Amino acid sequence: MRQNVNVKPGPLARRAGWRLPQPRVTPQLAHTMVPPNNPDDQDRLFHELERRAFDELPADEEPEPLDVLSVLRPDTVEPGLQDLTLGGYIERHQRVPAFEGIDAQPYTVDVDAEPAAEGGGYVAFLIFVRWAATGAGIMDHTESRDVARGATEAEAKAAALELSLYEVKAELDRAIERRRQALEDE
């Protein structure tokens, strides 16, 4: 079976007497080299190629399921995942993390502690500073509820620094929602 191809050598090749060989199509490859015009044939070809690709996949073992809670606990955090906690992020990047709140505004976070009102010791909370969209200045701030306790101020802050960044983001969104609710109630 011969396929007609209108390929002509350029002027330099013609002067040199070169001729391009005409491609030959073997009967086994004829149905895969020329796309079929019939939609039924196209579907058949697609399914055949998909089946071949699936059959050629190497057999893999089942991947071990990811235990999200163990990854987020500071005592089990692998060195490469250290910056998943607030304290780990600050230690690794030498700056506090930034978040986008549910109000689409930029925020950074810091930890503070104060004497506990009940039971003695100290409680830690997060302070979220809202920045101008350009980052040129501080516009406002909001605070989380108490997120950690400790016998001393340092212990309370250290416990708050063990929060995952996901927990910090959730606290930010709750603080924004509380502020929004308080403004509506006024």
- Tens digit of each residue's pLDDT, the chain (186 residues): 445 545 555 665 556 555 555 555 555 554 555 555 677 777 787 788 888 877 777 776 666 776 666 655 555 555 556 678 999 899 888 999 999 999 999 999 999 999 998 888 999 999 999 999 887 889 999 999 999 999 999 999 999 999 999 999 999 999 999 999 998 988
Alpha helices in 20-125 (DSSP H): 30-33, 39-55, 68-72, 86-93
Cβ atoms of 150 and 157 within 8 Å: the answer is: yes
Q: Helix, strand, coil % (nearest 5) of the chain?
A: 40, 20, 35
Give me the residue spans of the domains in the chain: 11-55, 68-185
**Model confidence over 41-90: pLDDT tens digits?**
777 877 888 888 777 777 766 667 766 666 555 555 555 566 789 998 99
Does this model's pTM top 0.75?
A: no
